[in-house]
Each structure stands twice: as C-alpha cells, then as structure tokens.
C-alpha cells in the first residue's frame, strides 16, 4: 500500500513538464510577476563582481520576455529595482541604473517588432534622468503595441505605493469627490500604480528566498506563488514552463469552497 501511494505521489505531485505544448493545452496565467533574485550570489559563486550577475540577469529578462510573449501571457511584471535597493553600494546602484539603457537600447527594436508594450510602475522622479529617458523612450515607441505588456517595477515599493494611494483617497474625500462610506477594495486598486492591469495570477521568485520583499502586497492577495532555488541568471525556459505547469494544477477558490 505504501509503495502504491509513493508511486502515486511521484506521478501526480512531482511530475515535471518538458515542453511548451504541455502548458499550452491549458489556460495560461494572464499576469505573471517575477522577483528576479540571486544575481549577486551567482556572481560571487564565480568570483566575479556583483555587477556581472546583474548583466547576466539582463540576458534572462530578454529570454523570458520572448517566451512569455510566445505563450500568450498578457502581462509580465519584473521587480527590477526596489525602493530599498538604494541602500546598496553606490557602484552597484549606478550600474543597475544603467541597465535599462543597455537593455532597452539593444532590445527595443525587437520589442516593437514583436508587439510588446513597455510600461513602468515605481517612482519616476527619483531615478536618474538617463534611466528615466530610456524607459520613457521605450514606452513611447511601444505604446501602440497591443501584445504582451512588459511592466518594469523600477524604484518600486508596495508600502510606499499603498501609502500614496491612501493619501490620494483621503484628499478626494476631503474635497467631497468620494464619500468615506463608498471606499472599497476597487477604490484602493484604482489609486494604485497597477490600476490599468489585472492582478498577477502567478508570482515567481528565484534563488530560494520565500518572501515578498515589499512587492505588490495588495495585488498578490490571491496570486499563486512558485519558488525555486535557481538563481536568476540560471533561470531558463524549463523553470518558467514548470512554474506555469504547477500553476495549472492548482485550484483557485478565492476564499470559497
């Protein structure tokens, strides 16, 4: 009996997926959010500077964007730089602020051709002008595209986002535009940076960490989480497809039965 149970668990619970076709036969999550973690550790393991890990991680962003687009994902949100990341060494922060220029400078024509639309959530005004210009250029040149939305969370912090939303709502109430009794979940969602997007169906976090790190705390309330020990620079099509495969096996009841 125990052997039979073990075989059933091995087959049903720990099965792996091998191709895109395996996941394309079932509904694909419309919005996938990724906490891209482990760039620094990847570099340290190879006795390289941390910025080498970030550079390698940028290549993975390109691959996952193309794959998500091929699979029919509607929104891919990538946690690129948090409001807490300013605490890192200046040389690392300066390099991270140059990455959007490098990435979008080489990848933008491909994004335009593949009908990908670039968006950004986060505090624009606090990032360097050269970084902001690169992102805004990509947003302008892809704004007519209606395929995958590539949404960068850049200088983003969820608590800061929610705090600002609450302040805006309070101002609206004081101005008489909203009644306090009318405030609902939808009201708060409307004042968040993601108001034009659906909440993520699936959150992926790499590198073995199991926390949200101040990322989309409101929006992830009913998302499915998938964690992997794989460091972001080593993250591949195999892991991305496996995450979707695991998502498709789960039952989403949103608090119901």
Pairwise CA distance, residues 154 & 149, whole Å: 15
Pairwise CA distance, residues 233 & 45, whole Å: 12
Which of the following is catalytic: 22, 85, 123, 234?
A: 85
CA 67 to chain centre: 14
Pairwise CA distance, residues 48 & 43, whole Å: 5
Pairwise CA distance, residues 81 & 75, whole Å: 18
- What is the SS3 assignment for 202? strand
CA 62 to chain centre: 13
Which of the following is catalytic: 37, 69, 155, 199?
A: 37
Pairwise CA distance, residues 178 & 24, whole Å: 44
127 contacts: CB under 8 Å, gap ≥ 6 = 81, 97, 154, 155
Known active-site residue 37:
yes
Angle between helices 90-113 and 50-71 (to 10 degrees): 20
Known active-site residue 85:
yes
- What is the SS3 assignment for 201? coil
Is residue 209 within 8 A of residue 191, CB to CB? The reply is: no
Catalytic residues: 37, 85
């Amino acid at each position: 009996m125990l052997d039979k149970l073990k075989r059933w668990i091995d087959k049903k619970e720990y099965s792996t997926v091998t191709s895109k076709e395996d996941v394309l036969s079932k509904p694909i999550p419309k919005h996938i959010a990724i906490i891209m973690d482990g760039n620094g550790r990847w570099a340290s393991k190879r006795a390289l500077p941390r910025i080498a890990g970030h550079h390698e991680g940028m290549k993975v962003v390109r691959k996952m964007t193309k794959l998500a687009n091929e699979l029919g994902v509607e929104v891919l949100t990538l946690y690129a730089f948090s409001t807490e990341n300013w605490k890192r060494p200046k040389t690392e922060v300066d390099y991270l602020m140059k990455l959007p220029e490098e990435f979008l400078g080489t990848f933008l024509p491909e994004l335009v051709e593949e009908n990908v639309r670039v968006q950004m959530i986060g505090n624009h005004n606090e990032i360097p002008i050269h970084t902001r210009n690169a992102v805004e250029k990509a947003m302008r040149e892809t704004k007519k595209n209606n395929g995958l939305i590539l949404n960068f969370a850049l200088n983003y912090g969820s608590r800061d986002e929610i705090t600002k939303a609450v302040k805006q709502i309070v101002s609206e109430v004081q101005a008489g535009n909203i009644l306090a009794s009318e405030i609902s979940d939808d009201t708060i969602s409307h004042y968040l940076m993601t108001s034009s997007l659906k909440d993520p169906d699936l959150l992926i976090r790499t590198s073995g960490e199991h926390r949200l790190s101040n990322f989309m705390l409101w929006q992830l309330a009913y998302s499915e989480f998938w964690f992997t020990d794989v460091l972001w620079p080593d993250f591949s099509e195999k892991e991305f497809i496996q995450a979707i495969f695991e998502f498709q096996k789960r039952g989403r009841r949103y608090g119901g039965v």
